[in-house]
Structure 1
Amino acid sequence: MKRRTVLKTALFAGIAVMLAGPALAQEKIKIGLSQGTMNHPWRVAMVEGNKDYAQKNLPDVDLIITDGQNDSSKQVADVESLMAQGIKVLMISPLTADALTPVVADAMAAGIKVVTLDRKVNTDVTVHVGAENKPIGEAAGKFIAEKLGGKGKIIELQGTGGASAVVDRHQGFVDAIKGTDLEIVATQNCDFLRENAVKFMEDQLQRFGPGEIQAVYAHNDEMALGAIQALEAVGRLNEVVVVGIDGQNNAFEAIKAGKLAATFTYPFVAPEGIEIAYKVAKGEKVDPVIILPGKQVDASNVDQMLGKGF
């Protein structure tokens, strides 16, 4: 009787091991992706690109995605929620640097690896992945300076106030036009949104009459397309050079149509973001800063880029 009890105990123990084994094997690596906002195509492309790659190529990853809805407080709460869920790596594209710095510092202190995408925070992270914004701003400034012969008045449509990308895109542009007779006569944070750009441009086109504005520098293609919409509505597009940043398909189409002078492609960090986060989760060594290259697209090369944007 005693022997049967021992055998039964061993059998149950073996079944328990068999059941536990696959469960442990199926345990996935939790990676959180905190997006600051999904209110325009570039950010949607970032999220969808990383999600699709993970689904197709990383079966051992559980990617948890949150949307800060253009609210820094909401994004802070999102990151805290991701930390509570036991993520191993935090991928984050912060809405603004200052607001998200403390919670990212908390994540690092808790032993969670952090990969910042596109925008930075003011604290150490494991890896930053993105393009360099200041050189893009400089390239846009040089392009406009060449187009206008170094003389003219410019309206600047900035993105989200306080975002590292906005600071760098503005400063690079300002540096590039130093020593010229180009002047920024109006600027506004339009939050990277087309509708905000349209409204601000409509106001400025009432303020500045025909011939008083020579260029518009927009921090992204959505705002550049908004500027074009406002200029077309009053028949003044032919007198203004409009430049954007990002590389949307409809921006390429606008260049082909002769409405947009140029855009500068800005990689949306997909699938590079999840690729790097996965390496970090696996303990692989990666460079602390990974720069993704962009390029100028204008009438001379737009045919090669049509259909290759987002």
Structure 2
Amino acid sequence: MRQRSLAALAMAAALAVTSAGCTVERHWGGGSNAGGGGKAKVGLVTKTDTNPYFVELRAAAKAAAEANGAEFSALAGQFDGDNDGQVRAIENLMQQGANTILITPSSSTGVLDAIDRARKAGVLVIALDTATEPATAVDATFATDNFEAGRQQGAYVKAALAGKPPKLFMVDGTAGSTVDTQRHTGFLKGIGLTDASPEIKGKTPANGDQSLAQQGVENLLQRTTDINAVYTMNEPMGRGTYAALQARGLVDRIVMGSIDGGCEGVKNVRDGQYAATVMQFPKKMAEQGVLAAVEYAKTGKKPSGFVNTGSAVITDKPIPGVESQDSKWGLENCWGTK
């Protein structure tokens, strides 16, 4: 009877977490949230559990936890932008006794209250991939320097134009998001323009979505086809943009760049859909986050500030003065399905 009662309680707990809008990887029993007790209990909260980028992040974190003797649990929002789901995930992890929470916040501000409660309870909170606003809302951030990734893309496009003045379309992500803003402004820095420059012939937001990017660029092309360069905030939008340009027979005269470094994106570079992409390294973010969690559990020492996990230009059309790697290297180091 006692075993049946315990089984029923376990089933109820699992159902409660599922109904809260989170996806469960694994969880442990409750306990103290403070570090310095020796055993790392690491919780990861991603924006979703289906995006290949976050699948890679979760797999890398789980592997690093297993390799370092840490317990691990992964939860996610139901969709990109599910702030309520991420708040519930943080609360669930605290109840389970997590002493470190790694989070890729769907919104830079939408989960700050929950993060504050976790930190006050002694939990180390590290943002992965996406910074919070303010950055001091978490103990540390392990992420791509998105401004630098944008600058690298812009510098490559400028060099590839070989002195020709840019006639530019900009395909942005979600207006106002931290990552979108940083990549956009970094690109302009790299190519040597400002938002007011007349060389920018059109802009369209696409929220990271391939179909929206294709539709947005098709609309821009109704106004002008006199362009020679395109900025895309991520690789799905690069693919959508390529489809729109291809339909107009424009791909051969345009230098297009992107950012992500997913295996599909590297193949796009290899196959000539766009000239270059800037690779980021989610595996590094996850591994470094877990190692910080292990250190915190052992000693109580917390990391702080921004830790840049790096980025690299991937292209099969290298240009003097722009450091890059080719698509073969890219496929050896990319994330997602190879």
Q: What is the TM-score when the length of structure 1 is the normalising length?
A: 0.81
Q: Does 1:153 align with 2:167?
A: yes
CA distance in 1: counterparts of 2:144 and 2:61, whole angstroms: 16
What per-residue deviation string (whole Å, max 9, x for no partner) do you get for residues 266-285 of structure 1? 11123333232232233364
- What is aligned with 2:114? 103
Structure 1: distance between partners of 2:102 and 2:64: 14
Give unpaired runs (5+ residues) of structure 2: 1-30, 32-37, 319-325
Question: How much identity, in percent, do the aligned residues show?
Answer: 27
Partner of 2:272: 258
User: Hey, what does 2:295 align to over in structure 1?
Assistant: 279
Query: Residues 199 and 80 from structure 1, CA distance in 2 versus in 1: closer, same or farther, beyond 3 angstroms?
Result: farther
Query: How many equivalent pairs are there?
Result: 282
Larger radius of gyration: 1
Q: Which stretch shows the higher mean deviation, 108-117 or 79-88?
A: 79-88
Task: Say whether 1:52 aligns with 2:66.
Answer: no
Superposition deviation, residue 127 in structure 1: 2.1
Match of 1:140 in 2: 153
Amino acid at match of 1:198: Q
Structure 1 residue aligned with 2:20 = none
- Residue in 2 that maps onto 1:213: 227
Match of 1:190 in 2: 206
- The question of whether the paired residues in 2 share the 8 Å contact of 1:141 and 1:177 is answered with yes
In the alignment, which residue of structure 2 is the partner of 1:127? 140
Instruction: Measure the CA separation in 2 of the matches of 1:39 and 1:177.
Output: 34
Q: Larger relative contact order (C-alpha < 8 A, sep ≥ 6)?
A: 2
How far the C-alpha of 1:182 sits from its partner, in A, is: 6.9
TM value normalised by structure 2: 0.75
Q: In the aligned structure 1, how far is the partner of 2:92 from the partner of 2:172?
A: 31
Correspondence for 1:5: none
The one-letter code matched in structure 1 to 2:94 is: M
1:16 matched to which residue of 2? Answer: none
The residue correspondences of 1:1-310 to structure 2 (distance < 5 A) are 29-38=40-49, 40-54=51-65, 56-70=66-80, 71-121=82-132, 122=134, 123-148=136-161, 149=163, 151-178=165-192, 183-209=199-225, 212-268=226-282, 269-283=285-299, 285=301, 287-288=303-304, 289-299=306-316, 300=318, 301-310=326-335
Gaps of 5+ in 1: 1-23
Tell whether the 8 Å contact from 1:34 to 1:68 is kept in structure 2 after alignment.
no
Task: Supply the AA of the counterpart residue of 1:137.
Answer: G
Farther-moved stretch of structure 1 (251-260 vs 129-138) = 251-260
RMSD after superposition: 2.5
User: Could you say what secondary structure the match of 2:204 adopts?
Assistant: strand
Say if 1:141 and 1:31 are closer, same or farther in 2 by CA, change over 3 A. same
Name the aligned partner's letter for residue 96 of structure 1: S
The alpha-carbon deviation at position 206 of structure 1 amounts to 2.6
